[in-house]
Every structure is written in structure tokens, then in C-alpha cells.
Amino acid sequence: MRSIWASLLILIVIISCQKEIDKKIDVSKIKIDVKINRFEEVFYSGTKNDLQRLKKEYAILFPKEVHDSVWIGKMENDDELYLFNESQKIFGDFKEEQEGLEQLFKYVKYYNPKFRAPRIITHISDLDYQYPVIYADSLLFISLDMYLGADNIVYKGFPQYLSQNFKKQRLVIDVANDIIVKSYPKVNARIFLNRIIEEGKHSYLLDCFLPEVSDDLKMGYSSEKLKWAQDNEINVWKYFIEKELLYSNDSNLNMRFINLSPFSKFYQETDQDSPGRIGVWIGWQIVRSYMENNDVDLQQLLVTDPEVIFKKSKYKPRK
């Protein structure tokens, strides 16, 4: 299935972006046609007699090599029915999420007039936390069972740094992130500074597409972890400099400061107070500083060498 979806991907050409992200942009006149198919509703409310019809309507969700007995078993599986019923409680008619997605798509289209809203298919993935959202140009798959609320019992076996984001407020952010990842693949960078600036470019795209969403939600931080990042920005920057990490090509720095993790790894006693991905946070601030201090648009930002961005950013961490 993933190979099928991957084959549908095409890159979106980002057209332009205003320098001042905080400036209110009126997207109300942008026309977006959003179509949502609640697959989980028709599947788990159906019977085996509905299966052939569903296979025709949602052919992409039914690999030919999978026998019908597997799908009938899923329809009657107690665990999956529980996930479906929980999703009904949380999302209901999906109206709030539809409005959020429409707004997101309007911003994407504002910056990229070639963008077309994908057909949205919601479903139950049986807790596939690695792929809660899959954007494939004309299609967008959303696993509702990955947004039931951090305290839901179904997430009991997940580490807290992951489950804290299994909430409905993250759904639109995850969609935005996947659109960005699929539309603008990150440039492979060897040195640490370039890596975090490439991450910062993606975070800045979130600023463009979700201007009203708070930084903690964008980063997937709790409010306490965001405050730590803000309060310790200058200390983190000093650490990177003093340990000569900025121009290091040590791949372990990804695990320590870029990859999703419960905390960043400075190898200090207070590490657990820090949020994970602190390098991404720093890269984001560098890119923001660059855009504030240079008359460039988004298209220029995305093709600018990270070293140039750093030198022209005039970045100074907050004290």
C-alpha cells in the first residue's frame, strides 16, 4: 500500500511567501473544494454483504492479494471496533477538522496557486503511529485512531513523548507537515549547522501555512518544554559553539538534537528537563531571523544555501 501511495507523489512548486509571517493574510476569497470520505464509518458500520461495494468505491484501500476473509475479520474485530467508536466520540461529524483543513489548504494555495486540495479519506489504522497522515498529492489519508487524546487507554503502551501528541489538535499540523515533507524534500546536509537550518526551513513553512497555531503545537512540545527552549536558547547555542558541534559531521548529532526523542542529549544531569529536537528549534529561530533581516521570499529561502542563511541571519539567541 505504501509503495502505491508513494508512487502518486509529486512535488509542489512553492511560488511565494510574504516576508512578514505575522502580517494578517486574507485567504477568505480563495476557493477550495474539500471532499471528505469517512471510510471508517461505512466500513465498521457495514457487514460482509457491503464488502464488494466498498472494494469498488475504495479500491486503493483493498490490495488484491488480501483475501476477503481478512476484511470481514476486521469489520468484526472488537479492538478495531473500539477504536472506531472512540473516534466517533472525539470527531463526530468532523466539521471542526474540515474547517481547519480548508483553512490550511487556502494558505497552501495562497503561496502555491498550483495546489489542489486532495480528496481526504479518514480511516482506522489500528494504531499505526508512524503514518498517522499520508499525503499523496491527490489523496490524503488520515488515521483518526491516532488522535483520540493523549490519555486514552489505547495509548498506554506508548512512551509519553509520543502519546502527548496523539490528540485532535495535532491533526491539521500533521497534515501540514506531511504536505511540506512530500512537497519539499530536505536537502541532505553533512554538517550539523546545515542540517538544523534545513529543518528550520520546514518549520518556517509551518509558520506560513499555519500562522495562527502556537509554537508549542507546531513543535509538538508541552508548554513547559517550550518555555525551557525559550529560556535556554542562549545556553543551547553556547553549548553548540563550545563543543564545536556547528560544523561537525557526526551523524550521532541527529539522534541527540534533531530526531524525535523524549529529551535532547547534552550528557548532563539536567537533560531530562529539555525537550527533544532542540536542534530543530534552534534552526527554526535562525531561519526566522534570516527572513526578518533580509528582503527575500519563500522561494528564495528554500533554495538558499544554509551557510548563507546563517551568515545573513544576524541570529542572536534570546537571553
Q: Give tens-digit pLDDT for 188-198.
A: 899 999 999 99
User: Residue 318: what pLDDT?
Assistant: 80
Q: Is 55 exposed, middle or buried (0-12, 13-18, 19+ CB in 10 A)?
A: middle
Which of 16-30, 59-73, 161-175, 239-253 has the lowest average pLDDT? Answer: 16-30
**Is the model's pLDDT at 88 over the cut of 90?**
yes
User: Residue 13: what pLDDT?
Assistant: 31
Q: What is the pLDDT of residues 4-24, one digit of tens each?
A: 433 333 333 333 444 444 457
User: Residue 2: what pLDDT?
Assistant: 44
User: Residue 19: what pLDDT?
Assistant: 45
User: Residue 248: what pLDDT?
Assistant: 98
Angstrom distance (rounded) from CA 154 to CA 81: 12
Residue % of the chain over a pLDDT of 90 = 87
User: Residue 6: what pLDDT?
Assistant: 38
Q: What is the pLDDT of residues 187-227, one digit of tens each?
A: 889 999 999 999 999 999 999 999 999 999 999 999 999 99
Query: Nearest to residue 166, comparing CAs of 155, 176, 175?
Result: 155
Angstrom distance (rounded) from CA 288 to CA 118: 29
Q: What is the pLDDT of residues 280-314, one digit of tens each?
A: 999 999 999 999 999 999 989 999 999 999 999 99
Report the mean per-residue pLDDT for the chain: 92
DSSP H/E element including 32: none
Continuous H helices in 152-277:
160-163, 171-183, 192-209, 215-219, 223-231, 233-242, 252-257
User: Residue 8: what pLDDT?
Assistant: 34
**Is the model's pLDDT at 79 over the cut of 80?**
yes
Q: What is the pLDDT of residues 115-160, one digit of tens each?
A: 999 999 999 999 999 999 999 989 999 999 999 999 999 999 999 9
Order of strands across the sheet that contains 133-136 = 36-38, 119-123, 139-143, 133-136
